[in-house]
């Protein structure tokens, strides 16, 4: 019973199936050689490790979260994404564990650009998951079906988002029974990064 309530932490071998490479601008699972395909109605998360390895998987609240990929170790960036047939459609920085900053998000954008991911049609939002609700909507134009993203935000959420955006992000440190929480690499002095 207690084990079902614990966050799953992956070891080096276990995390290999979540490793994603970028080929011809598309996200591909390295081990199985299949495109990253996020399913509608579920949350998909990513982390970019300090060795600049990308990991992507489906979030399972209370079981599999951002800290699961690297067993809570330091990262460069973390967030959520939407991808279809390996084509990135949306990314946003959100992690309750790592609390990514705008700088972390820019670092991830740079990583994608270095690997020739076309970001021209990628929806980017610098908000947490409580402020925005993303929905995939099928749209028919010229007899063809295509997907696009719509973001809806209430006035209350917009106010909260504006306040959060105006505050300078400070790293939050705490500890659990499993040991100290490890944040983003940028939270540490340069010589420790």
pLDDT, residue 185, reads 61
pLDDT, residue 6, reads 87
pTM: 0.68
**Strand runs labelled E in 5-53:** 19-23, 26-29, 34-35, 44-49
Extract the tokens encoding 134. 């993303």
What does DSSP assign to residue 184?
Answer: B
pLDDT, residue 29, reads 99
Extract the tokens encoding 149. 């993203």
pLDDT, residue 5, reads 65
pLDDT, residue 125, reads 77
pLDDT tens across the length of the chain (193 residues)? 445 568 999 999 999 999 999 999 999 999 999 999 999 989 999 999 999 999 999 999 999 999 999 999 999 999 999 999 999 999 999 999 999 999 999 999 999 999 999 999 999 975 544 433 333 333 333 333 333 333 333 333 333 344 344 334 434 444 444 445 555 666 666 766 5
Extract the tokens encoding 125. 């939002």
**Residue pair 72/101 in contact by the 8 Å Cβ criterion:** no
Q: Which residue has the tokens 């614990």?
A: 6
């Amino acid at each position: 019973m207690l084990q079902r309530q614990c966050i799953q932490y992956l070891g080096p071998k276990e995390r290999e199936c979540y490793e994603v490479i970028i080929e011809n601008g598309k996200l591909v699972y390295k081990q199985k050689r299949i495109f990253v395909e996020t399913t509608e109605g579920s949350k998909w998360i990513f982390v970019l490790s300090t060795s600049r390895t990308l990991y992507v998987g489906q979030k399972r609240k209370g079981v599999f979260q951002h800290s699961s990929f690297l067993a809570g170790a330091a990262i460069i960036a973390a967030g959520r994404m939407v991808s279809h047939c390996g084509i990135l459609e949306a990314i946003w920085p959100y992690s309750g564990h790592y609390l990514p900053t705008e700088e972390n998000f820019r670092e991830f954008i740079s990583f994608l650009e270095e690997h020739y991911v076309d970001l021209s049609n990628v929806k980017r939002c610098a908000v947490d998951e409580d402020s925005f609700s993303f929905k995939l909507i099928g749209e028919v134009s010229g007899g063809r079906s295509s997907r696009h993203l719509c973001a809806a935000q209430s006035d209350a959420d917009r106010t909260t988002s504006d306040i959060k955006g105006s505050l300078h992000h400070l790293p939050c440190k705490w500890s659990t029974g499993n040991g100290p929480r490890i944040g983003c690499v940028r939270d540490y002095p340069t010589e420790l990064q």
